[in-house]
Structures are given as C-alpha cells and as structure tokens.
A and B are shown apart, each in its own frame.
Chain A
Amino acid sequence: MQDLTVGIAQLHDWLKSGDVTSLDLVAASFARIGAIDSAVQAFLTVTEEAALVRAKENAGKTPDGILDGIPFALKDNMATRGVKTTCGSRILEEYIPPYSATVMDRLDAAGGVLVGKLNMDEFAMGSSTENSGFFPTRNPWNLGTVPGGSSGGAAAAVASGMVPYALGSDTGGSIRQPAAYCGVVGLKPTYGRVSRYGLVAYASSLDQIGPLTRTVEDAALVLQAIAGYDHRDSTSVNLPVPDYMTALTGDIRGLRIGLPKDYFAHDMDAGMRKVMDAAMEVLRGLGAELVEVELPHTEYALSAYYLIAPAEASSNLARYDGVRYGFRAKDAENLLDMYNKTRSRGFGTEVKRRILIGTYALSSGYYDAYYKRAQQVRTLIRRDFETAFERVDLVFAPTAPTTAFKLGEKTSDPLTMYLSDIYTIPVNLAGLPAISVPCGLIDGMPAGLQLIGRMFDEATVLRAAHAYEQATEWTGKRPQAIGGQA
C-alpha cells in the first residue's frame, strides 16, 4: 500500500514511472481512511464509488500534470455537484449542490481525484471542529485533543496520511491554526487570489480557500492549480499567477522579516516562546534579517473580527430558511413558525450566537457604533501592515498561542476559544497571504510558525517557508497516536 505522505512530486514520479497507478493511490487513500478514520473522524462523506471509477479511467495513462491521478479531499463547505455539501451543519445535512465550486472544477481539470468531504466547524465557525453538527474530529497526534478548526477535518486527514492534500478555507485562521495543531503546512492565499465561487460563505470579505499539505512545495503546487481570476467571483483579482515552484530557491539571504513587537509582548506561553526563538535563529542562520516592527492596532483585531464576521454571517446564513433546499421543520403552523423552527433546530449553538451578534451589530441605531467602527478598525489594521511592509518583506508570528487543546476544554467558554485565533485574525482583516509551517513540538504536540506576506506576494511567503522547512526537520513528522507507519 502506497504511503500518501511522501509528497506530491514523489507520487507524480511513481505515476509517471508506471509502477503505480492512480487506482493504487486512490485505493491507498480509502484503505487508510478505512483503517483510521473511525478514530480520527475527519471525513463526513467519502466518494469511493465515483473516485474508483475515475481512477480506473486513468489507469495505465501517463499523468498530464503534477496533480493528475492524485487523490485529494475538500472541506465540506466547497460545493461539489452531486456530492453532499453539508458545511458541517444539520441544516444542510442532505444538501446536494447542483454545481461545483471553481476550485473543484480546477482540481478536476488537473486530473485530481476527489475521495471525500471533510469535517469542519459548522459553517466554518469555530477553532476546534467541535462545533461540527455531526461529530468532532480528533487530532491524529493525540486523539484526546482537538485538530483545530474550522478546517480540522482537512488538517487531520493530511496529517494522518489519508490524503496527500486537502483544501480548507480560512476566515480568521481556519486553515493555518489547524495546520499548526496537526503539524502540517497550511496556506491562506491573498484575498482575491483564489475564487470563492462555490465556497459556502461564512464571512464573505474574509473567506479564502487554500491548501493543507505535507510540505511547502506541495502547497505551492496546489496553489498553482487553484489560483487565478474567475469571472464568476467579482472579488477574485485579475492578476497573473506567478510560477510558485521557481520561487522555492531555498535562498532567503537578505530577506527582511518583521517581528511584531505587539505579538511577542504578550505573556506568551513559555514553550511557544522557546520554539519561536529557535525558529528565528534558523531564519537568521539562513541569512534573513530580523527586524522589530509595530502593529499597534493588533489589540482591536479580535473585537473587529467578531463584529464583521458575524455581521456578514447573519446575512449569508439567512438563506437557510427551509424554502428551497436543506432542512425544513415539518410541524410548522405558518411561515414565521417554519422559519423559526427550521432555523432553531437546523443551526447549532455557535452559529446561532454569531447570527445574533451579527444581526445586532447591523441593526439600525447600532450600525455606526459596531459594524462601521469595526470596518474603521479594519482599515487601521491594514495600514499597520502596509507600514510594516515598507520596512520588511515578511512578518513572522506564531500561528496560534498554544498547541492543540483538549477536547471539551474550551467549548463552554467561547471567548477563550476565540483567543486561539489572535495571531491569524489580523491577517484576514488585512487580506494578506500567510502560511503556517511546522516548527517544533511542545510536549509532543506540533507548533506552527506563521509567515505573512504582502498582498499577492505568495511567492515570497512560500520561498521563506520552504527555506525554513529545508533547514529543519519538523515538516513531515508523523503523528504516533494513530500508528506511526503513516
């Protein structure tokens, strides 16, 4: 059985040599899912039948592109025609989209084989995947801890070798934080770099799709396949997509990397500080110049995010009314009753909490004090980064304040849960690209460092992350909890 953690380039070479077929890889994926997913619970849907049909079609043919014939999975908030897309919510439990997301179309066109849809916090609202309307996903490094969220299923599936790569979505850290918790690479591209068409909206001005992979090189390969303008998404940007592989030179001499005073001034977890200090040393050793920068409005980021995102969500999620698709309460007496019962039963607690916050923030008389003010803060945060990027090429930060926490540890206290995204949220507010790369273990659990780049400068982000990865041995480390053979 093939090991799917060897990296996309290696899988591609195997296919090219003819020793291994797409069917072998797809079968390996399903075998691994069959062996361990009952424990990890990363998948909401597996598309075994369709995947095997597709893989058989490909059997014996030499791959066209680097992703051709290679299995992958999608977070369950990306529309897949004919395949359930639940968004981790009971309200869409049986929902089958009539169309596919642009990213699905692009991976499909590149020859990718979809093996299934991955668990997530309901409507991408959460940081642990415990808010899934179905079941929580476990962290492959320690099944008693969370995989992070909201793309927890994607991170866990890649970390445990069930798929070589997956796509997640990142609204406030939902790719990077679970990548860090599960010891894999997670890239959030610049807002507008990857089409959102077919991504079920949580907070439209913040959502962005990106890859979760074993290596930085794999992240570059997958980004290459999904990036670029899409006429169906007016917020996607019509800029040329550079060749990301050529950016991976391993050379970061002279690169200026900013250390935000405002991030490190916090009473950071001692273990995390140690890991961060070590990572800084590695970057210095590679010839990068580390410079202190200021991001003075950081302390307002969380508050601004928790007004803007719920406000947009309250509007985006209003369409789940039981009229056209999805769950509808059967025992309603009239229209209003149908809305009330459908939405009360269909949505989980955290989703309802954010809908209420967002509805309040947009209400007449409160709009200026909350939503508008939050947007002003957002502008200030964007300017903070712009100012920093006048002096540096990248900004360095932890991905999350800690490693993965225990299941149930924070579910009763949403505010503490929100704090786990404190280093990732400002990046979404500013729309910037950022990557999380494994940078060590703290008490046996993976930690991630984050590199944040200028608008549309994923190339530099990937270059530095790749150089760091090559210089260390943290990437590709395999979790022991689900059998070290992965």
Chain B
Amino acid sequence: MALETVIGLEIHVELATKTKIFCNCANEFGAPPNTHVCPVCMGSPGVLPVLNEEALGLGIRAALALNCEVRRDSKFDRKNYFYPDNPKAYQISQYDEPIGEHGYVEIMVGEEKRRIGITRVHLEEDAGKLNHAAFEDASYVDFNRAGVPLIEIVSEPDIRSAEEARLFLEELKAIMQYCLISDCKMEEGSLRCDANISLRPVGQETLGTKTEIKNMNSFRNVQRGLEYERSRQAAMLGAGESISQQTLRWDEASATTVVMRSKEDAHDYRYFPDPDLPRIRLAEEYIEERGREIPELPSARRDRFERGYGLPAYDAGVLTAMRSLADYFDETAKHVTDPKTASNLIMGEILAYLNAAGKDIANLPMRPRQLADLIGLVEDGTISTKIAKDVLKGMMSSGKDANAIIAEQGLVQISDEGQLREIALRVIAANPKSVADYLAGKDKAIGALVGQVMKETKGKANPQLINKIIAELIRQA
C-alpha cells in the first residue's frame, strides 16, 4: 500500500523590534541573564502590558508578505499555564482572532511550483529561558527573552515530504529576512519550528493520526526528524499497528524521536480575551502602509534575475537566498556589461571570503559599485582575470578601489605590443623545443611560451595579446 506523507508546520519567528512587545526593555539576544527585564516583563504584581506598535506593524507586514488576509478587528488572549519561564503564568497570544489568515507561500520543488497554504499568523510574546545548572540541583531562569515579540505561523497540511518542509522553511526565512521582519537565526532561537506529520494511503482524503515533533533546531534537523518520523510511522502502519497521537522530541544525539507527552496530557490553556489590552482595530491606510513596506520578494527576484540578467536558475537561487546578497548583486549588475561575471565572482570568491570570515555581505567594506569597476577593468583589458582575483582580495579586506590597488602594486596589464613582442622574442629564442613542438602541431605547446612571458611580466601581460603575438612570431620565423 503506497502511503502519502502529510506535514504541517508551526513556526515561531522573533520580530526584530527595538523593544519587547509589551514593555520598553531591549529586544536583544545574548545579553547577560536578567539584564533586559523590568516589572512588566517580570510579571510583578500590578503591572500592565502596552502594545509595542512596531511589533504590530511587523506582524502585519509578515501576514501580508505571506499573502494573508489581515483582520481589521482582532484581539489578544491569555493562554494560561504554569511554568517557571512564564512570569505571569499566562502568555499573551491570539487565540481565535489571529492578525492574519488564509495565506500561502510558493516553493519550487524541482521543476514544480507548489503552493503551501498558511492557516494563520498571530502575534504573541516569547517566554523566558530555563538554564539547568550543571553542578548543582537547581535551575535558573533568564527573563531576557520574556516578552520578546513573536509571530506564530501555522501552515496547512500541504507539505508532502521532509524535503518540501525544508524548502518551505528556507523560503519562509528568505521572505522574513527580505521584509526585515526577523533575522531568522535558528541557532539563536529567532526561528523555531515544530511539525505535525501523519501518513495516509494515497488517494485517501481523511488524514491519518498525527504526531507532533518539537526541538528540531536546524533546517537539517527538521528534514532529518521528519524523515525519521515518516519511516517510523510507515513501519508501524506496515506492521498493522496504529499510530498514537503524541508529542515527540527530536533527539539529535540518537537521531530518533522521543515521546514527550501523549494526547491525554494535553493542556487546557483556558484562553480568554486579555482584559488589559484593548481590541486591535486597524485602519485601511495603516494596512496599506504596511503593504508598501514589503520589498520585491525572493520568488519575484529569482524570476527577474533569470529573465532580466539571463542568469542560470542555479545562480538566481543562490543570489536571492539572502536579501543582502541579492541587493549586492543587483547593485553590481547595474554597472557591468555581463552580469554573469558579477554572479561568478559573488558566488565564488566573495561568498568563499565571507564564509571564511563569518561576515555578512552587508558589512563587506567593498561596495557593489567598486566591484562593478573591477569587472569593468577586466572587460576593457586593463587587468587580466587572474590579476583581478588578487585585486578583489585586497578590495574585500580594505575597501579600497580597484584602481588604487592596481596603481599601488603596479598591476596594470601590459598591452603594449612593442614591449610584449620584445619579451616574446626572447622567450622564443630561449625555448626552441616548445617552438618545435608547436610547429609539429602540438597547439598546447604555445601555453608554455605564454606562461614564460607571464612569468617575466609577473602576470601582467595581456594573455590574448601575447597568444596572438607568439603565434605570429613563430609562423613568421
């Protein structure tokens, strides 16, 4: 019996606001424990929440970027549960009136475009963090994260494989980053993903019993966790067993899923409207303004890079994965004749340099205009491609213009035919064997001669010109 995999994702994204969602504490990752806290986010008796408008704006921007309908009238609810990282013992969230609903994200699975539905997008606050002490019988709570604004994005069960889940997440991350909604760093917890997965016979409409997987803390682990869970369920169904509805935890060390709780232990969160916060009523103009904040999204940009710049699909995919990279390429490509040269350099030398240095392209001292100038110098023959790569290294670390580096190091290409002819004559005279080989029909032998000229000129000879000159001189001889 052929089985179909059905996956739905629940994604939490921390919003890149300056302050927390209901107080004025800084929203910043990595500060010493309990330094970004105040009576409000600590849940002191008597405090009240005040909605951060920036968080609301980003939430709406996210809903719009995910093609959702934005509710003109919504509210916050309290989700009640006890846990030490939850300072009020309730989380302010949105229950039955999320800010956005009925959206979708399109992804490319191979050559096929797939549309994954977005059930809802809602605003809520993050909880603190428990740190379990290593050498004592104690746990410590850090409330820096308590009250950091989140959106929860729930997808429809439209995802059909673990790979699709990963592709969906990558696309979602790119959209969030493009819209400056979040940095979506899974390793810092600013993007977190839980998944529901079930199997059903192909052709069957009703869904099978699902399990929920938590704690998948990288895109790779999401794919691995779902693959593992799919085979586990398939094996059980194959053996005639039934799946029980459970919440599972992905255990990276053993590469398996482990039971956290079963359905019977499900919480009753006793949701009710938060009486401390007025309803959120949105004016049309306000929503339209948020819509205007959305830039060209990754999929549109990919299309434009392919059609407008004539880039291969692969290049377009790599260059649009991050907005900063795509912006950089766009800016460079405007000023060059062949965008593919720019693409090659960015995907090759520049990304390699950035990865090694652990930097983002936005912080690269070399600006796109400078890169375009360098490419121009290759195109007009001022320097060779080989020299260009050396110059590029200098530009990336120093931010200096190509011309400055070329002048400093005397790297201008020698294109003076008289000068090159003189050197070529000397090289030909000193290498009779290569000349003989060439004359005997070994075309490659000319390479050795060109190499000698390059050596004498420290790589500055114009390679096309020197090729031409050597060939002429030998034929004339």
A-B pair number, CB within 8 angstroms: 102
Cα–Cα, bound, A87→B44 (Å): 13
**Known: A205-B275, A363-B270. Contact between A318 and B82, CB under 8 A?**
yes
Does residue B39 face the partner (Cβ distance < 8 Å to A)?
yes
Given known contacts A234-B276, A323-B84, is B46 in contact with A78 (CB within 8 Å)? Answer: yes
Docked complex Cα distance between A414 and B181 (Å): 52
Known contacts: A235-B276, A318-B82, A364-B270. The answer to whether A324 contacts B50 by CB under 8 A is no
Interface string of B70-86 (1 = CB under 8 A from A): 00000000101010100
In the bound complex, CA of A325 to CA of B39 (Å): 11
Asked if A270 lies at the interface with its beta carbon under 8 angstroms from chain B, I say no
Would A232 and B48 be within 8 Å (CB), given that A318-B88, A318-B90 are in contact? yes
**CB atoms of A234 and B278 under 8 A apart:** yes
**In the complex, per-residue mask of B261-302: 1 if CB is within 8 Å of any chain A CB, else 0:** 000000010111001111000000000000000000000000
Q: Is A241 part of the binding interface, using a Cβ–Cβ cutoff of 8 Å? A: no
Contact with A along B45-79 (1 / 0, CB 8 A): 11111110000000000000000000000000010
Tell me if B80 and A315 are in contact (CB < 8 A).
yes
Residue A95 lies at the interface, judged by CB distance under 8 Å to chain B: yes
Asked if A58 is at the interface (CB within 8 A of a chain B CB), the reply is no
**In the complex, which residues of chain B have a beta carbon less than 8 angstroms from the beta carbon of A367?**
270-272
User: Given known contacts A315-B90, A362-B80, A364-B268, is B45 in contact with A97 (CB within 8 Å)?
Assistant: yes
Q: How near does chain A come to B45, taking the closest CB pair, in angstroms?
A: 4
A87 touches B45 (CB 8 A): yes
Chain A contacts of B325 at CB under 8 A? none
Whether A315 lies near B276 (C-beta < 8 A) is no
A378-B289 Cα distance, complex, nearest whole Å: 37
Interface membership of B368, Cβ < 8 A: no
Known: A98-B39, A315-B78, A323-B141. A235 touches B275 (CB 8 A): yes
Q: Does A154 contact B (CB under 8 A)?
A: no
A40-48, A193-201, A388-396: which one contacts chain B? A193-201
- Of A97, A199, A362, which contacts B270 at CB under 8 A? A362
Bound Cα distance A201, B51 (Å): 18
Which residues from chain B contact A335 at a C-beta distance below 8 Å? 84
In angstroms, Cα B83 to Cα A339, docked, is 10
Does B255 make an interface contact (CB < 8 A)?
Answer: no
Selected contact of A319 from candidates B43, B268, B272, CB within 8 Å: B43
Q: A417-442 toward B: CB 8 Å interface, digit per residue (1/0)?
A: 00000000000000000000000000
- The residue on B at minimum CB distance from A325 is B44
Q: B275 touching A204 by the CB < 8 A rule?
A: yes
Complex Cα distance, B46 from A200, in Å, reads 4
In the bound assembly, the distance between CA atoms of A196 and B43 in angstroms comes to 15
22 contacting pairs across A/B (C-beta < 8 A): A77-B46, A85-B45, A87-B45, A92-B45, A99-B44, A101-B46, A196-B48, A200-B45, A201-B46, A201-B276, A204-B275, A204-B276, A234-B277, A235-B275, A311-B272, A312-B275, A315-B78, A318-B88, A321-B89, A323-B141, A362-B80, A367-B271
Assuming A198-B47, A315-B270, what are 16 further A-B pairs, CB within 8 angstroms? A77-B46, A78-B46, A79-B45, A99-B47, A101-B46, A198-B46, A200-B46, A201-B46, A234-B50, A314-B80, A315-B90, A318-B82, A321-B84, A323-B84, A362-B80, A367-B272
Binding site for B on A (CB under 8 A): 77-79, 85, 87, 92, 95, 97-99, 101, 196-201, 203-205, 231-235, 311-312, 314-315, 318-321, 323-325, 335, 339, 359, 362-364, 367, 371
Residues of B near any A CB (own CB < 8 A): 39, 42-51, 78, 80, 82, 84, 87-90, 141, 268, 270-272, 275-278
